Amino acid sequence: MNKSIVGTVIVFISVFFLLVSLSYSENSETFPQRVISLSPSITEELYLLGAEDKLIGCTTYCIRPKGAKTKEKVGTVIEVNLEKIVMLNPDIILATSLTDSKAVEKLKNLGIKIESFPASKNFNELCNQFLKLGKIVGKKNKAEEIVNDAKNKIDIIKRKTENMPHPTIFVQIGSSPLFAATDDYFIDDFINFAGGINIAENSKSGLYSREEVIKRNPDVIVIVTMGIAGDKEVKIWKNYKTLMAVKNNRIYILDSYRLCSSTPVSFVDTLKDFVEILHPEKRKINL
Amino acid sequence: MLEIRNLTCGYGAKTVLHDISLDIKEREFVGIIGPNGSGKTTLLRAITRILKPQSGVILFGGKDIWRLSFRELARKIAVVPQDFTAGDMSAEEFVLLGRIPYFGKIQFLESKRDFEIAEKCMTLTDTLKLKQHRMAEISGGERQLALVARALCQEPKLLLLDEPISHLDITHQVGILDLIKKLNREYKLTVIMVLHDLNMASEYCNRLILLNNGRIQKSGLPEEVMQYKILEEVYKTVVVVKKNPISSKPHVFVVSEEEKQKREKN
Amino acid sequence: MRKKIIRWIIWIGVLGAFLLAISVFSLCVGSADISVKKVISLLFKAGSGSEYSILFDIRLPRIILGFAIGGALGLSGVILQGMFRNSLVEPYTLGISGGAALGVSLSIISGLYRINVLNMPVFGFLGAVVIIILIYALSMQRGILKMQGLLLTGVMISFISSSLIMLIMSISRAEDLHGIVFWIMGSLEEPNWFLIKIAVFISLISLFVSYFFCHDLNALSLGEEEALHLGINIERTKRLLFLISSLLVGYSVSVAGIIGFVGLVVPHFVRMFAGNDHRILLIGSFLTGACFLIFCDTVARSIIAPVELPVGVITGILGGTLFVCALTKKRIIAGEK
């Protein structure tokens, strides 16, 4: 009899401590309160997660959404001003693979926590990074919510475009030299999800020859804005009158910001644009 | 003092000097003469270690010059080159460069003795007044004197001069050669001078060496070397040799085409 | 002569004081505003906190590296100009910087620099060493180091390296491309204290050793033949001086990237004010180069804060303008005489 009482008490105490320690660890997981973002897409994502009040500094390129413009500036995407960062006394810095490695090293030496987000190559990676970000700033649930919503919308779009014709497309992201979006970029995902075929998908490097494009004769050509160079490129393409894209007047220019640095939400928006481009006959897919 | 034995040297495949042997004794004032391309400058270069001989040996004071260190050689032999462009420095700084062979391993500034010697050399060459002048601003003749002063600072036993007067007017020509003669006579300096001007060479040197096609054509007193037959053979031009009325040294007179034709008519 | 020595000592004193002043100035200036009073108090009382960290972990290492690299570039500039007897020669003419840049580019695209950040300067230095050996071997002819050959070979190698680097850039990914371009633009940001200490060590040792050749350089200004007549062992001198300046340039470029103009303009400057004697030129160029680079770096990191300009841009603009001004002024003064 005594043994069973002692045994029960021990079990209760253990469970009690277990529960306490579990809740303790959840509460003691103090999330950073002062965050600096070194990338425009990370800044945008923080706003999406509702974590913008934790943002104490960002780059001069962080202009979306509007609120980001008023935040303290700590440099560009590549070059960061270390003094500014130290003065702001951050808990964590969110960097990318573009950030100057020496600066990253320096910040680590100064004892400041820094988390690096390499450029995502496809939608999956984009989502994983978004989830990682959510976990770091303590908005795990919100992040999962947003990602699931985006995934759903994309599934719907995929299903709708499945039965549509699959045009071939060439997306140009550089002018001299001519650079194509291969499967290394999540532009490839835009194309595939919108039901298109990327002619440069399996190309080893992005360097592409104009002749190759003409040979493959894509139905659509998309040029990522590069200022004046973009308009020039359109003119050059129009010279090749045998191209399907030229004959059917399907050369488009798209905003580089959307195509190159994205959040899961903006990904869906841009995907809709892509669907419009690829399937002009089906105007405005309703979601 | 300087012994040259079977010296053959040249530039790459081209041999300029063939089997040259000569002895220069102390206190001699030797003039090296010869037509263009006969190897005068090459000989000087071989003596100063700029050119490595293909065969043969050069001894200074009994020692092979290629066994001596550069510094040791610079303390024994000093070279006065033809005129050149100096950097932007004062005449005094330029002359003091001649003391470099005497600087200690870690000597950084010139010593008092260096200054004294430089001053003495400049006084000798009458360039003391140019002390603070920039080298670029002084005249050609003064530059040549400064060069001599610098060479003297090396306290050499042998002084080599390469065409020291070719670009000077007669005042400076005589001035420099008188100075060299004085250095040779009073200060016991051995002198080897490469010269184009046959008459000046005859006037001042006590021995002449006539080079032709890289070989010694004739070596000896001016009277022995400056004979019209020898000179005509080497210089391939008609000359007349007569004695200088003042010094009795042989002098060369050229015979121009006009004169030749006048004589032939008669 | 006494006068000359006194003038030299005054010059060294003035430059030293200038160096100190500029260092303090650089310490006080930055995008984080720290008042001069605060700086002085922090200097004497060790503390902690972000301001202390900014001064000693961010600004001070840059000042020290600026001293080492600026001095190295100034010194190698004056040595090379003395060796080549050509006042348009600068440390990068020999192509060593091209080799270092090539080495660094390779380390970036091969991804090796992500494994250990130290790989970048190591590769840079290796690249520089390869080029040094190459041009040395190509310019040696029967035991004589041909200076003209050295110059031409160096220039050619510079061109070849730039083309190779452009090739690497055209096939690299965006992030690597940024890394390469960034590195080439030059920066005094170096997180590794060890590398900074080595830079200072190499610079100071080179300065010390170069003084053994001050007379040789003076003699060389008359020409190689003349120097030989004066008893200088010119082959040995050329080789050692080449080694010293190559080492200085190679190391500087590996750590700080390509910071042009310093090695070209600083010796001219010092010559204008202090004369042609290498005994003052060596240390004069060292100190002036150090002051100049520290100043330019300070301007680069504070003029449009928080954005930082590459220091090479400032050295080019500032150096060029100052030089032209000084040249014109001297001409006017000389003309009036």
> Per residue of chain A (287 residues), what is the pLDDT tens digit?
567 777 777 777 777 666 655 554 444 457 888 999 998 889 989 988 888 889 999 988 888 788 888 888 988 888 888 888 888 889 999 998 888 888 888 888 888 899 998 888 888 888 999 999 999 988 889 899 999 998 999 898 888 888 888 888 888 887 767 788 888 777 888 888 888 888 888 877 777 888 888 888 888 888 886 666 778 888 888 888 888 888 888 888 887 776 766 788 888 888 888 888 888 776 555 54
From chain A, the residues in CB contact with C57 under 8 A are 86, 106, 109-110
Beta carbons of B106 and C212 less than 8 Å apart: yes
Ramachandran region, residue A138 (left: φ > 0; alpha: ψ -120 to 50; beta: rest)? left
Interface membership of C301 toward A (CB under 8 Å): yes
Intrachain domains A35-138 and A162-282 with the same fold = yes
Tokens 């200022």 sit on residue: A227
Looking at beta carbons, which pairs linking C161-165 to residues 24 or more positions away fall under 8 Å?
C161/C95, C161/C98, C161/C99, C161/C101, C161/C102, C161/C131, C162/C98, C164/C102, C165/C98, C165/C101, C165/C102, C165/C105
Across the range B14-35, mean pLDDT stands at 90
Q: Give the per-residue pLDDT at C81.
A: 92
Strand, coil or helix: A166: coil
At residue C240, what is the residue type? Answer: L
Which candidate from C1, C5, C230 shows the least CB-CB separation from B74?
Answer: C230
- C279, B108: Cβ pair inside 8 Å? yes
Record: contact C191-A205, CB cut-off 8 A:
no
Q: Answer yes or no: are the C-beta atoms of A243 and A28 closer than 8 Å.
A: no
Q: Is the dihedral of CA C109, C111, C114, C120 positive or negative?
A: negative
DSSP state of C146: -
Residue B107, SS3 per DSSP: coil
| ipTM for the predicted complex | 0.86
pTM for the model stands at 0.83
Thinking of the domain A35-138, which architecture would CATH place it in?
3-Layer(aba) Sandwich (3.40)
Query: C109, exposed or middle or buried, with CB in 10 Å at 0-12, 13-18, 19+?
Result: middle
Please give the Cα distance from A281 to A196 (Å, whole number). Answer: 14
- Please state the φ and ψ torsions of residue C91, each to the nearest 5 degrees: -55, -25
Chain A residue at shortest CA distance from C180: A100
Most C-contacting residue of B70, B72, B79 (CB-CB within 10 A), to test interface: B70
Nearest to B70 among C222, C231, C277 (CB): C231
Alpha-carbon distance B119 to nearest alpha carbon in chain C (angstroms): 12
Chain A and chain B touch, per 3+ beta carbon pairs within 8 A? no
The answer to whether the Cβ–Cβ distance between C231 and B71 falls below 8 Å is: yes
Cβ separation of C228 and B50 shorter than 8 Å?
A: yes
Token pair of A158, please? Answer: 């995929």
- Determine which helix (DSSP H) or strand (DSSP E) holds B59, and give its type and residue range: strand B55-60
Q: How many CB pairs under 8 A join B and C?
A: 61
Which residue on chain A is closest to C175 by alpha carbon?
A: A98
CA B22 to chain centre: 16
- Chain B residues close to C232, C-beta within 8 Å: 70, 100
Of the CA atoms within 13 Å of residue A208, those in its CB half-sphere come to 24
DSSP 8-state assignment for residue B90: B
The residues spanned by each domain of chain A are 35-138, 162-282
Looking at residue A227, its pLDDT comes to 65
Q: B163 is written with which tokens? A: 């065409």
Tell me the average pLDDT of chain C: 86
Superfamily (CATH H level) for A162-282 = Nitrogenase molybdenum iron protein domain (3.40.50.1980)
Q: State how far the Cα of C75 lies from the Cα of C78, in Å rounded to an integer.
A: 5
Cα separation, A100 vs A91, in Å, equals: 20
CA-derived radius of gyration, chain B: 20
Query: What are the tens digits of pLDDT across the range B94-149?
Result: 999 999 999 887 888 888 889 999 999 999 888 888 888 888 888 888 888 999 99
Q: Token match 């062979």: residue?
A: B101
Q: Nearest-CA distance from C329 to chain A in Å?
A: 38
Instruction: Give me the domains of chain C, ranges plus CATH numbers.
Output: 88-258 (1.10.3470.10), 262-337 (no CATH)
CA-CA distances (angstroms) from residue B92 to A270, B99, B120, B130? Answer: 80, 12, 12, 8
Check CB contact under 8 Å for C189 and A119: no
B62-88 burial, b for 16+ CB within 10 Å, e for fewer?
eeebeebebeebbbbbbbbbeeeebbe
C228–B93 C-beta distance less than 8 A: no
Among the partner-chain residues B74, B89, B106, the one whose CB lies closest to the CB of C231 is B74
- Test C117 with A119 for CB contact under 8 angstroms: no
Question: Which of C63, C108, C182, C194 is the best residue to mutate to test the A interface, defined by the most A CB atoms within 10 Å of its own CB?
Answer: C182
